[in-house]
Amino acid sequence: MLTLSPRDRAMLNGDFGAGVALAMRIVAATARVMDARALIDITSAHIDGCLYHGAASLDFVERFVASGAKVSVPTTLNVGSLDLIHPELFRGDAELASAGTRLMQAHVELGCEASFTCAPYQLRHRPKLGDQIAWAESNAIVFANSVLGARTSRYGDFLDLAAAITGRVPHAGLHVTENRAARVVIEAPDVSASPHRDAHFAALGFVLGGEVGATVAAITGLPADTTEDELKALGAAAASSGSVALFHAVGITPEAATLDAALQGRAPERTLRVSAADLAAVRARWSRARPGDALAAVSLGTPHFSVEEFRTLAALFDRHEGKPRSDFYVNTSRFVLWQLEQDGIAQTLGERGVQIVVDTCTYITPVMKQVTGLVMTNSGKWAHYAPANIGVTVAFGSMSECVRSAFEGQVWFDESI
């Protein structure tokens, strides 16, 4: 049975206003569904609901705005329906643009930070090990749980905002220590020497999501120098292809110093060995292209590109002359763009034909000039969602394969791997 604190009951009874009362009703009802006995405080929230999906999404937020409610913890915003920094890129319906813009602005009026990024962990302030948070957006959830060691369940639209307003969430799911124990072990192949590690990590994410669903897994065998961007690619693909909200990378992530620590002392329910051939097969399965096929565009940065990824991209561009023969898009956050502008990288890449997109992503909003033909990406998440969302055909490869393909105007895969 759920026990509410005196402050919880005060919020529920309307002592802090009608908006807060509505938010607490949502949180309390969710807690009862989850069989939680109590609510706990959170230190931050990340809201997925600022992406416009119809009138209901806007009506919900406007009700809180009208009530005068505000978020009670630091709260960041996920991608919206358009790039507010570069609104001229939007190629969709004017009414959709207006409603989408209003939804984004309404969240800011509630006290949320105008971050508009699916990678809030790349912002200046991010959760620490053990912090209780309420994050939505699948890749952000798995990154926060796995790589940062913060604690969040999978929060979705409406519930995420209710948690941000009340500052409370059910003490259940991945907020609870014993629920974070790995139950499955994934033995990964050695990809340390591959020049296409980004694609391999995304492919491993597809394997993880397909095999474990929502079960927590421990991954062994990852390179000691595995980067946050590689774990980001792995987690995003796993959360897209399955319901993964937490994985442990043994020897790398904070709750998995050893395999036994990741398992919390228990024996695994099963162990799966993944070979390099398995990853190659996954890459082939998610690519609907053959070498030599004409390429319409490249889209990178799903989840949003980091500064380090942009530096890698700039180095890859330095290997080629002129501009790519295919359109080239990179999705990122305002925060990263500001850093790129300070370093001169944004201007350099722009002059080379790269269109940097912020606040949104090319697979969810009409930004791309061409949506017929092949679009190449190194993102497992983009490859998973784009065909259904915007009707493109996907070629899936590493960043280096994407760059070379763009300059050649046709799909190129490294046949040596």
The predicted-structure confidence for 312-365, as pLDDT tens digits, reads as follows: 999 999 999 999 999 999 999 999 999 999 999 999 999 999 999 999 999 999
Domain boundary among 264, 284, 304: 284
Rounded to the nearest 10°, the torsion over CA 69, 167, 335, 86 is -40
Q: Is the pLDDT of residue 371 over 90?
A: no
Q: Is the pLDDT of residue 416 over 90?
A: no
User: Is residue 185 in some structural domain?
Assistant: yes
Q: What is the mean pLDDT of residues 387-416?
A: 95
User: Is residue 1 in some structural domain?
Assistant: no
Q: What backbone phi and psi angles, to 5 degrees, belong to 190?
A: -80, 110
pLDDT digits (tens, 9 = 90+) for 193-218: 999 999 999 999 999 999 999 999 99
User: Is residue 413 in some structural domain?
Assistant: no
Same domain, 105 and 199: no
Domain boundary among 138, 155, 178: 178
Q: What is the mean pLDDT of residues 178-207?
A: 97
Same domain, 154 and 198: no
Q: Is the pLDDT of residue 136 over 80?
A: yes
User: Is residue 224 in some structural domain?
Assistant: yes
Same domain, 256 and 217: yes
Same domain, 88 and 172: yes
User: Is residue 416 in some structural domain?
Assistant: no
Q: Is the pLDDT of residue 274 over 90?
A: yes
Same domain, 100 and 232: no
Contact 262, 182 (CB under 8 A): yes
Same domain, 24 and 166: yes
Same domain, 34 and 145: yes
Q: What backbone phi and psi angles, to 5 degrees, belong to 403?
A: -65, -50
Per-chain mean pLDDT for the chain: 97
Q: Is the pLDDT of residue 373 over 90?
A: no
Contact 189, 221 (CB under 8 A): yes
User: Is residue 76 in some structural domain?
Assistant: yes
Q: At what angle do helices 334-343 and 307-317 cross, to 10 degrees?
A: 50
Same domain, 127 and 189: no
- Rounded to two decimals, the pTM is 0.97
Q: Which residues contact 318 (CB under 8 A, 6 or more apart)?
A: none
Same domain, 74 and 223: no
Q: How many domains does the chain have?
A: 3
pLDDT band at 372 (very low <50, low <70, confident <90, very high): confident
Domain boundary among 178, 197, 225: 178
Same domain, 143 and 236: no
- With pLDDT > 70 as the criterion, what percentage of the chain qualifies? 100
Q: Which domain holds residue 127?
A: 6-178
Token readout for 413 is 């895969």
Instruction: Quote the pLDDT of residue 111.
Output: 98
Contact 199, 401 (CB under 8 A): yes
Instruction: Quote the pLDDT of residue 415.
Output: 80
pLDDT digits (tens, 9 = 90+) for 89-127: 999 999 999 999 999 999 999 999 999 999 999 999 999
Q: Is the pLDDT of residue 222 over 70?
A: yes
User: Is residue 414 in some structural domain?
Assistant: no
DSSP-assigned letters across all residues of 141-181: HHHIIIII--B---B-TTHHHHHHHHTEEES-GGGSGGGGS
Q: Is the pLDDT of residue 183 over 90?
A: yes
Same domain, 45 and 145: yes
Same domain, 123 and 16: yes
Instruction: Quote the pLDDT of residue 407.
Output: 98
User: Is residue 123 in some structural domain?
Assistant: yes
Q: Looking at residue 125, which CATH number applies to its domain?
A: 3.30.499.10
